[in-house]
Amino acid sequence: MFSLVVIPTLFLMGLITFERMLQANNATLNYAKGINRIRHLYLEYAPQMQPYFILSSHDDARGILDNMGVARLGWWQGFFSAAFMIAMINSVLAEAL
């Protein structure tokens, strides 16, 4: 009886946590895009400052991911995210049901 209450509750909490993790990741990408745009504006007004910027000023996907340190790691990098870990735990709980 205890398992019939706890496992579905944990599964629901996992689904909610997974969705929230995806929302947080999307927000992080939007903020990184905004920061890159501000950096680009700085370089438009003062191009002589280019040597002092160590990150990209491009707001495309490559520039954003490169600044976050995940552009060159490959497709398998998604398997090491917290959202993937939550999805794996949820799949185990769903199988247990």
- pLDDT recorded at residue 73: 66
* 34 within a domain of the structure (yes/no): yes
Q: Residue 3 falls within a domain, yes or no? A: no
Q: How far apart are CA 86 and CA 17, in angstroms?
A: 7
* Residue 89: predicted pLDDT: 94
Does the predicted model carry a pTM greater than 0.85? Answer: no
Q: Is residue 47 part of a domain?
A: yes
| Cα angle value 30/33/35 (rounded, 5°) | 110
Token representation of residue 37: 């745009």
- Does 7 fall in a domain? no
Does residue 1 lie within any of the structural domains? no
Residue 37's domain comprises 23-92
Q: How many domains does the chain have?
A: 1
pLDDT of residue 56: 86
